[in-house]
Amino acid sequence: MKNSKTLTYLDSVHYYGRIWGFVILGLILLFPIALMIIFNVGPNWSALLTGCIAVVPMYWAVGIIEIFTYIPMLGAGGAYLSFVTGNISNLKLPCALDAIEKTGYKASSEEGEIISTISIAVSSIVTTLIIIIGVILIVPLSPILQSDVLSVAFAQLLPALFGGLAIVFIAKNVKLSIAPIILMLVLFIAVPALNASKVGIMVPVGVLFTIAVARILYKKGKI
């Protein structure tokens, strides 16, 4: 086994990131295995294969795209932690980008790596604590949370979060922001189904499109 004391920061991130990634994968697989053992049942293999053929190619494609789009923004440590804890586009990515933006470091620097990882770790802890509190208080607070006044406000939480982040990055380069904004508006208006189940897929698509536009504008001397 490699001596962790001789590893650099990034080496240790990859070393322990791989270990915990496989540990989490094992824990995830243990749940269905435990159910099969406890209830003495097994999956319908033909139905499982049919379902996998339908959805696995899409998830493989999205997974590969997310690796190339999220890691430059999150850093190595932040990426390992985000992919383990989940909810990247709605929570982890905004937290990391905001933290890096406020400190003035780049995500590719070692300082940016550390800041991104800390922000995502704190986000994960806070999210877990809020979920615990929510589970405890969901019954007594349900009448209040389901009221007409608050339901309207809750529906605007994510737009408000991303709107605040968008203003910061749009202000940095207005020319570069125009094309992806138009693309997303056209796609979401023309294909309403994207607003529900496939919104997460559009984040990597938007990133790749923006990179392509940035390269074109850079070659033409526009940015």
Express each pLDDT in 191-209 by its tens digit.
776 665 566 667 777 778 8
* Run of H or E residues at 25: helix 9-39
* Domain range summary for the chain, segments of one domain joined by +: 1-42
Asked whether residue 161 carries a pLDDT value surpassing 80, the answer given is no
The tokens 């979401």 sit on which residue? 188
Rg (CA), the chain: 21
Torsion (CA) 158, 161, 167, 168 in degrees, nearest 10: -140
The answer to whether the Cα torsion of 19, 23, 24, 29 is positive or negative is positive
Express each pLDDT in 100-158 by its tens digit.
888 888 777 788 888 988 999 999 899 889 889 988 888 888 787 777 777 777 777 77
Tokens at 174, concatenated: 């207005």
Cβ(92)–Cβ(82) below 8 Å: yes
What's residue 1's pLDDT? Answer: 46
